[in-house]
Amino acid sequence: HNGNQPIIVTLSTPFLAHTWYPCKDGPSDKADSVFVSIAVKDTIIQGNAVRAVSNGTLAGVETLEQKKVYHWEHRYPIVPYYVMFAVSNFAEFTLDYSNETQNFPIVYSVFQESLDDIQFWQSDLPIVMDLFVDLFGDYPFADEKYGMTQLGFYGGIENQTNSIVGNMVGSGWFNVSVHELAHMWFADALTCSSWNHGWLNEGFATYSEALWAEETGGFENYLSTMLNKQYFGEGTVYLENTNDPFQVFVSIIYQKGAWVLHMLRGELGDEVFFEAIKAYFESYGTLYGHATTEDFQAVCELLSEKDLDPFFHQWIYEEYYPKYAYNFVQDDEDVYLTIHQEQEEQGWFTPFQMTIPVEISYEDGSREVVFLDNMLTFQSYVIS
């Protein structure tokens, strides 16, 4: 970075941790704790000492000949690929976070040349933490810290208690910070049981960006954010083949995964939806466990008292989306409306079962929205 200043960092998702230490790699295994010791040359580069950062809390720094050994301890269950370390001539600053029940530091390890700008752009992260604590539940690693470490390239990885991000300057990179913070609940504490269900990590974190947009700019800002995350391509949100690490973090689990949650919110209503999100985390995340799509569906069904199997089947396990054609006629009293799902002609999944809002305009200038349950490829309705 900054010319010739060195940095060493681990990037281990989705199952590359075994390339640098022995482990049972992948989402299925969680060690109950991890201690990481990193020996680095005792030197100063451009005015900053070379430091080593990792998960959890710094237990001590040992001087050994011309080296310093940084001893880190993390005492929460953790999957192998979120174990990390990074070494560089980092500058460090801390934002203190506290609410009624929790108090812990947000620790930044950044490049000296970026320090002032990062302090400015990251000042709202404690407010994001407030929002996620309110929506999801207590921060799951409060006995230690939340950390962010600058890499200088790449995007971001939600290493447990210490996210790696390429940069932290500007609104776009702050959204990356929001995304990685949301992962502490959905990916780190509560982990998909396999990468087939990776949308439970990435879809939730991507949708959390929209929730932050809603918090800061209202519902219109939320909708604008979601419209920028549309996905109309092929493939299923459930990943059939996860053997290739370059075919795990694909756009469908981020974008369409987030839209699954957006549409589910419309299906359940705000009150039940947010109750279900928190209950889902409380059921599995507070145990630092694993979950599948079916686990999440079961929580939503329990709280909504709805059969959501058609919803999850069509949006997680099938491809594409519904395409509608419609026509209507009216007499003195009624409107006769016909809806036709056209995707059958293209060989896509059909029929999608959706609630369709239809706006009716009256001669006196008033308007009314009626909600039609569309269950068939061809379906007719009479609206009085």
In this predicted structure, what is the pLDDT of residue 246?
87
For the cut 90, the answer to whether the pLDDT of residue 280 exceeds it is yes
For the cut 90, the answer to whether the pLDDT of residue 226 exceeds it is yes
Instruction: Give strand pairing partners of 325.
Output: 340
In this predicted structure, what is the pLDDT of residue 218?
97
In this predicted structure, what is the pLDDT of residue 181?
98
Q: What is the mean pLDDT of residues 192-217?
A: 98
CA dist 107 and 95 (Å) reads 7
CA dist 263 and 312 (Å) reads 11
**CA–CA distance from 376 to each of 7, 263, 264, 322, 351 (Å)?**
58, 19, 20, 11, 6
pLDDT per residue over 343-356, tens digit each?
988 899 999 999 99
In this predicted structure, what is the pLDDT of residue 245?
86
For the cut 90, the answer to whether the pLDDT of residue 304 exceeds it is yes
In this predicted structure, what is the pLDDT of residue 162?
98
In this predicted structure, what is the pLDDT of residue 274?
98
Nearest 10 degrees: Cα torsion 367, 373, 375, 377: 0
Q: What is the mean pLDDT of residues 86-113?
A: 97
pTM of the model: 0.96
Q: Which residues of 336-346 are buried (b: 16+ CB within 10 A; e: fewer)?
A: ebebbbebeee
Pairing mode, strands 290-291 and 191-192: parallel
CA dist 206 and 208 (Å) reads 5
Instruction: Give strand pairing partners of 330.
Output: 335
In this predicted structure, what is the pLDDT of residue 58?
98
Rounded mean pLDDT of the chain?
A: 96
For the cut 90, the answer to whether the pLDDT of residue 295 exceeds it is yes
